[in-house]
């Protein structure tokens, strides 16, 4: 037993410090290459030969030689912990060195006494693992290196999950890779502990943001499972109290507002699918977005602000009260097949009101969104089939009867986006004003459009409403006050 302990104590470990390190059969440049090693890989050092390390790779089950400059000898005693932590702090914020940082985090956690370990190494480990997953998702040419770095991180117990679909990534059938969040959950578990091990508000906020990412939700979840996940995300975001929130730096506070806005928008939609009142959740989503100080947002967060605005814009009618039906046209909602809502278009001017048309949907119908053309020749209604995606249903009268057209936020959907009614022109002109906003191929697209009310053909469109005279003349006052497209 004593001999075995002594052998373990004498084991010397090295971490590969760079990519494309050749593990050779002999200490010479001309020697056969057994394998290519990547930064962060852990090796057992067995000997040294004039600038070369004789090593054994337990993962590959191969021995060989590498140059001393290509690796760093690391100790695992209590005395080695402080220098390991110093290197970890440097690597934490070094893009491209995530797998190396993961190796140093593992070495530090092995060397440091349990009673001295704070939330810091877990925070650093989570930050690097999440950045590695993001980089893998967005990779455009370093696929081999990123994949290798993820494999190295996996050797230390770091796990990743992947999801596919445009609704997840906004880029066709691209794969979204996500860190499973184990280190961040450890940070939150230390949130209530006493002494120096207690996680700081900044560490807890970063952990909560990492564990509530919209794109890291399995799109294959059932509605009930998705509802539970969204409520869990909302509860996590509620874990930062007012005192801790006030201690955060402004950019981190604003990111929390943005995440809460998007999550509460999802909760509102979830509630609508289960016939639960969604208004309170929708109001919270609108309020969180309104609380964002755009001037405090760093440039890299502007995209997340726009994404949050789109998510809230898709569900904003859930926050509105349903107004009494006026004019000739109105809608009636009736249950259809299991999970369906059927929308009937009714003419109130007839003696025995009958349905002019009917359409059923598995999406959520927002009755507060109904907008009727004053002359009774068209009606617009917002329907939301998916979280973060709402469409505009427009019934319009043609010679052969009433026709329904569905206007999507963008042709390549569904993804993230909304389209909303912005006004009607006088009857003799017969125009419908709409705005569409969506994320397409990773970019925000926003178009203000003037359509013919009878055919819904687009006559004019522009990136700003000021560029269209029709919006200056006929845009609805209520729409101007409530829309998020003019933010």
User: 312-356 pLDDT, tens per residue?
Assistant: 999 999 999 988 777 789 999 999 888 899 999 998 877 776 789
Same domain, 345 and 381: yes
User: Is residue 201 located within the same domain as residue 256?
Assistant: yes
Residue 199 · residue 191 · CB < 8 Å: yes
Same domain, 271 and 335: no
Domain limits for position 470: 324-482
* pLDDT score recorded for residue 9: 47
Residues 283 and 329 in one domain: no
Residue 429 confidence (pLDDT): 74
Q: Quick one: angle between helices 143-155 and 120-138, nearest 10?
A: 150
Residue pair 432/393 in contact by the 8 Å Cβ criterion: no
- Is residue 253, in this structure, part of any structural domain at all? yes
In a domain, 93, yes or no: no
CA distances, 480 to each of 62, 101, 413, 434, 471 (Å): 68, 50, 26, 12, 10
* Cis amide prior to 414 (ω within 30 degrees): yes
Tell me how many domains the chain contains: 3
Which of 291, 318, 345 terminates a domain? The answer is 318
Would you say 57 and 37 are in contact if contact means Cβ atoms under 8 Å apart? Answer: yes
311 and 390, same domain (yes or no)? no
Residue whose token pair is 């013919």: 452
90 domain-assigned: no
Q: CA separation (Å) from 389 to 42, 141, 247, 248, 383?
A: 46, 31, 35, 32, 9
Structure confidence by residue, pLDDT tens digits, 46-81: 999 889 999 999 989 999 999 999 999 999 999 999
From 318, 352, 377, the end of a domain falls on 318
Q: What is the pLDDT of residue 135?
A: 86
Q: What is the mean pLDDT of residues 171-182?
A: 81
Quote the pLDDT of residue 193.
53
Angle formed by the axes of helices 302-315 and 250-273, nearest 10°:
20
The answer to whether the beta carbons of residues 360 and 331 sit under 8 Å apart is no
> Could you give the CA distance from residue 212 to residue 229 in angstroms, rounded to a whole number?
9
DSSP code per residue over 327-384: SSEEEEEEE-STT-EEEEEEETTSSS--EEEEEEESSEEEEEEEEE-TTSSEEEEEEE
Question: If pLDDT is split at 50, 70 and 90, which confidence band does 3 have?
Answer: very low
Residue 428 confidence (pLDDT): 72
Q: List all residues 6 or more positions away from 121 whose beta carbon is below 8 Å from its beta carbon.
A: 85, 88, 105, 108, 109, 112
Residues 63 and 178 in one domain: no
Say if residues 30 and 3 touch (Cβ distance below 8 Å): no
What is the DSSP secondary structure assignment for residue 461, as one 8-state letter? E
Is pLDDT of 114 > 70?
A: yes
Residue 379 shares a structural domain with residue 448 = yes
CA distances from 477 to 233, 280, 394 (A): 35, 24, 20
Q: Half-sphere exposure (CA, 13 Å, Cβ side) for 46?
A: 10
| Positions of E strands within 174-278 | 175-179
Evaluate whether residue 95 is within a structural domain: no
Q: How far apart are CA 70 and CA 176, in angstroms?
A: 32
Same domain, 305 and 344: no
Tokens (6 digits) for 212? 């509530």
Domain shared by 274 and 333, yes or no: no
**Residue 399 has what pLDDT?**
81
Residue 196 pLDDT: 58
Q: What is the pLDDT of residues 194-209, one digit of tens each?
A: 555 689 999 999 999 9
149 part of a folded domain: no
Hey, what's the torsion of the CAs at 394, 383, 324, 453, to 10 degrees? Answer: -10
Tell me: do 270 and 379 sit in the same domain.
no
Give the C-alpha separation, 419 to 439, whole Å: 12
Say if residue 301 is in the same domain as residue 366: no
Where does a domain end: 318, 352, 376?
A: 318
**Residues 333 and 343: beta-carbon distance below 8 Å:** yes
Is residue 92 domain-resident?
no
- What is the token pair recorded at 354? 């009958």
pLDDT: which is higher, 277 or 1: 277
pLDDT of residue 401: 87
In this structure, what are the phi and psi dihedrals at residue 91, rounded to the nearest 5 degrees? -70, -25
Whether residue 105 is contained in a domain is answered as: no
Burial of 228-245, coded b for 16+ CB within 10 Å and e otherwise, reads ebbbebbebbeebeeeee
Looking at the chain, the whole-number percentage of residues with pLDDT higher than 70 is 93
The two most distant CA atoms of the chain are separated, in Å, by: 102
330 vs 323, 368, 428, CA distance in Å?
A: 11, 12, 22
pLDDT of 11 reads 83
Alpha-carbon Rg for the chain, nearest whole angstrom, is 29
Contact 358, 343 (CB under 8 A): yes
CATH number, residue 29: 2.30.30.40
Placement of tokens 């020697």 in the chain = 31
In the numeric block, which tokens belong to residue 270?
Answer: 């979830």
Q: Report the Cα–Cα distance between both ends of the chain, in Å, rounded.
A: 71
pTM over 0.85: yes
Does the residue 298 lie in any domain?
A: yes
Percent of the chain residues past pLDDT 90, beyond the cut: 77
Q: Is 389 exposed, middle or buried (0-12, 13-18, 19+ CB in 10 A)?
A: buried
Same domain, 337 and 294: no
């Amino acid at each position: 037993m004593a001999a075995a302990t002594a052998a373990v104590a004498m084991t010397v470990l090295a971490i590969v410090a760079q990519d494309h390190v050749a593990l050779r059969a002999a200490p010479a440049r001309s020697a056969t290459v057994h394998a290519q090693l990547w930064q962060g890989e852990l090796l057992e050092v067995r000997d040294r030969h004039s600038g070369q390390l004789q090593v054994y790779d337990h993962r590959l089950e191969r021995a060989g030689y590498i140059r001393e400059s290509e690796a760093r000898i690391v100790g695992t005693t209590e005395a080695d912990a402080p220098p390991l932590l110093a290197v970890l702090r440097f690597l934490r914020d070094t893009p491209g060195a995530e797998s190396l940082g993961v190796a140093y985090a593992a070495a530090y956690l092995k060397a440091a006494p349990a009673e001295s370990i704070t939330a810091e190494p877990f925070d650093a480990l989570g930050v690097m693992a999440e950045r590695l997953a993001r980089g893998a998702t967005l990779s455009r040419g370093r696929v081999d290196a990123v994949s290798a770095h993820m494999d190295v991180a996996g050797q230390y117990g770091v796990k990743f999950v992947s999801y596919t679909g445009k609704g997840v990534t906004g880029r066709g059938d691209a794969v979204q890779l996500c860190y499973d969040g184990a280190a961040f959950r450890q940070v939150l578990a230390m949130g209530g502990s006493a002494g120096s091990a207690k996680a700081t508000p900044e560490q807890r906020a970063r952990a909560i943001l990492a564990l509530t990412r919209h794109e890291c939700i399995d799109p294959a979840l059932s509605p009930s499972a998705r509802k539970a996940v969204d409520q869990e995300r909302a509860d996590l975001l509620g874990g930062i109290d007012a005192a801790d929130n006030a201690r955060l730096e402004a950019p981190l506070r604003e990111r929390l507002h943005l995440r809460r806005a998007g999550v509460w928008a999802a909760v509102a939609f979830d509630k609508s699918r289960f016939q639960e009142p969604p208004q309170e959740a929708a109001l919270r989503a609108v309020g969180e977005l309104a609380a964002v100080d755009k001037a405090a947002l760093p440039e890299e967060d502007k995209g997340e602000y726009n994404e949050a605005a789109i998510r809230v814009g898709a569900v904003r009618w859930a926050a509105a009260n349903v107004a009494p039906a006026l004019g000739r046209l109105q809608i009636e909602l009736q249950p259809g097949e299991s999970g369906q809502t059927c929308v009937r278009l009714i003419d109130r001017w007839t003696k025995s009101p009958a349905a002019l048309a009917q359409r059923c949907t598995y999406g959520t119908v927002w009755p507060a969104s109904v907008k009727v053309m004053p002359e009774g020749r068209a009606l617009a209604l917002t329907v939301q089939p998916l979280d973060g995606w709402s469409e505009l249903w427009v019934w319009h009268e043609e010679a052969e009867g009433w026709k329904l057209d569905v206007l999507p936020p963008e042709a390549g959907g569904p993804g993230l986006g909304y389209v909303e009614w912005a006004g009607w022109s006088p009857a003799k002109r017969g125009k419908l004003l709409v705005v569409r906003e969506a994320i397409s191929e990773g970019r925000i697209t926003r178009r203000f459009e003037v359509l013919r009310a009878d055919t819904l053909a687009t006559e004019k469109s522009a990136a700003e409403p000021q560029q269209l005279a029709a919006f200056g003349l006929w845009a609805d006052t209520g729409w101007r006050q409530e829309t998020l497209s003019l933010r």
